[in-house]
Amino acid sequence: MKAVQSTIKKHKYIQDKIIADDEEERLRILRLEQLEAERVIRDRIEQLEREKKRTGKHHDDEEARLMAALRHLEEQEVERLRLYKEWEEMNNLDATHLEHYAIGYRDLARIKDDQLDSKCDMLFGNRPIHFIPKKGENFMLEKEIERIIAEQNVTIPVMHVKGNVYLIGTQKQLLQFKGDRLMVRVGGGYSILEEYIPQNHRIMERTLLLNMIKSRESLEWICEALKHDQRIPHLQDASEDAGSNEITILKKEPLVPYNEYKFQVGSPTRKSDLRTQSTSPIRKSRSPMKKNTMKSELSPGRRSPKRGRSPVKRGVNPYAAPTEEFIHNKEEILGLLKENQSAKQGNIGKINQEIQRETQALKKLQASFK
Between CA 338 and CA 152 the distance in angstroms is 44
> In this predicted model, what pLDDT tens digit does every residue of 300-319 receive, in sequence order?
333 333 333 333 334 566 77
Distances (CA, A) of 355 to 342, 344, 366, 368: 20, 16, 17, 20
pLDDT at 82: 79
- Compute the chain's Rg from CA coordinates: 43
In the predicted model, what is the mean pLDDT of the chain?
76
CA distance 29 to 20: 14
Split at pLDDT 50, 70, 90, the class of 196 is very high
Q: What are the extents of the domains in the chain? A: 1-91, 97-266
Residue 352 is predicted with a pLDDT of: 93
What φ, ψ does residue 276 adopt, rounded to 5°?
A: -110, -20
Query: 268 near 279, Cβ under 8 Å?
Result: yes
Contact (Cβ atoms closer than 8 angstroms) between residue 66 and residue 330: no
Residue 35 has pLDDT above 80, yes or no: yes
Confidence of residue 79 (pLDDT cuts 50, 70, 90): confident
Distance CA 235, CA 366 (A): 107
CA 221 to chain CA mean position, Å? 29
Indicate if the pLDDT at residue 242 is higher than 80: no
Instruction: Choose the most confident range, by mean pLDDT, from 86-95, 278-287, 289-298, 347-356.
Output: 347-356
- What was the pLDDT predicted at 11? 66
Rounded CA-CA distance 265/310 in Å is 10
- Distance between CA atoms of 131 and 159, rounded to whole angstroms? 7
CATH superfamily for 97-266 is Gas2-like domain (3.30.920.20)
